[in-house]
Amino acid sequence: MGNREIIPKSVLVRRKLFNIIFLSLNWLAVGIGLSILFWVLGYLTVKGIQGLNIDLFTKVGGDPNDGGLLHAFVGHAIISALTVLIGVPVGILIGIYLSEYARYSRLGRFLSDVSDIMLAAPSIVIGVFVYIVLVKPLGNFNALAGAVALAILMIPVILKTTQNMLLLVPDTLREAAIALGAPKWKVILSVVLPAARFGILTGIILGIARIIGETAPLLFTSFNNNFLSFNIFKPMASLTVTIYQYALSPFPNWQKQAFAAALILTLLVLFATLLAKFVIARRYRV
């Protein structure tokens, strides 16, 4: 008690003043950020609702005065499905390899560093790379190239999430299963993966949310058209590229459709994010 340092009152007042100033600046920054966010979302909602109608989902584009975005919805769904089929298995398998087989190897550390770099890679660079590798050799834009470009963006997200979730599984579970005579692959499939299933599912959902709104890679790969197409080796419409082209067009109807499509994409990303949070919350309830 007697050796406790006595802080001068002036120092306490100065600390309290600095605390109030910086706390006020923090709240000011939060207020500005939220105001801009709600202004953008509010403007998008008002303009997007004006373009929502049944024709948007039932008619194919082409006519500026009497058309819809059916071709863009179908094309976006096809490209997204192809992306998931390519990106999810590859991301999970590489994540398993880094966590279970190459945890302490130089190759594992190298691949982990590369995946960290890929997380921050500009999407337009990925689009140019896939254009050189897939589009030019095939001689035309195609939906498969677009799916590959988006899968390259998705894989690092799923990879890192899978790796981190598997590393959180206690080694005692692995050791107990191995002690019972189970081979390593059986331990991974029956013990490790089920224990990390919620985290891996969250990574998959976040990976889908990551690529669902991408435009730049598709401009260099699947390009776009105003026709309903199911051929993955030909140019295919997508919502993001259609929004870009319609928003820059001089036709008021196309501009309304662009806002409506942007609103729908925003809601899809919001739904994916909320679903990921729900999965995480359920994991901690179990």
Residues 114 and 184 in one domain: yes
At 73, the pLDDT band (50, 70, 90 cuts) reads very high
Q: Which of 16, 36, 51 is the last residue of a domain?
A: 51
Q: Which of 27, 51, 75 is the last residue of a domain?
A: 51
Q: Domain containing 17: what range? A: 1-51
Residues 76 and 189 in one domain: yes
Average pLDDT taken over every residue of the chain: 89
Residues 164 and 72 in one domain: yes
Residues 143 and 230 in one domain: yes
Structure tokens at 238: 């997508």
The model carries a pTM of: 0.86
pLDDT digits (tens, 9 = 90+) for 151-167: 999 999 999 999 999 99
pLDDT score at 39? 95
Structure tokens at 114: 């590369």
Distance CA 283, CA 199 (A): 8
pLDDT score at 66? 80
Q: Which CATH number belongs to the domain containing residue 213 in this structure? A: 1.10.3720.10
CA 262 to chain centre: 16
Q: Residue 194, SS3?
A: helix
- Total structural domains within the chain: 2
Residues 35 and 82 in one domain: no
Residues 47 and 110 in one domain: no
Residues 43 and 61 in one domain: no
pLDDT digits (tens, 9 = 90+) for 165-217: 999 999 898 889 888 888 988 999 999 999 888 889 888 988 998 898 899 99
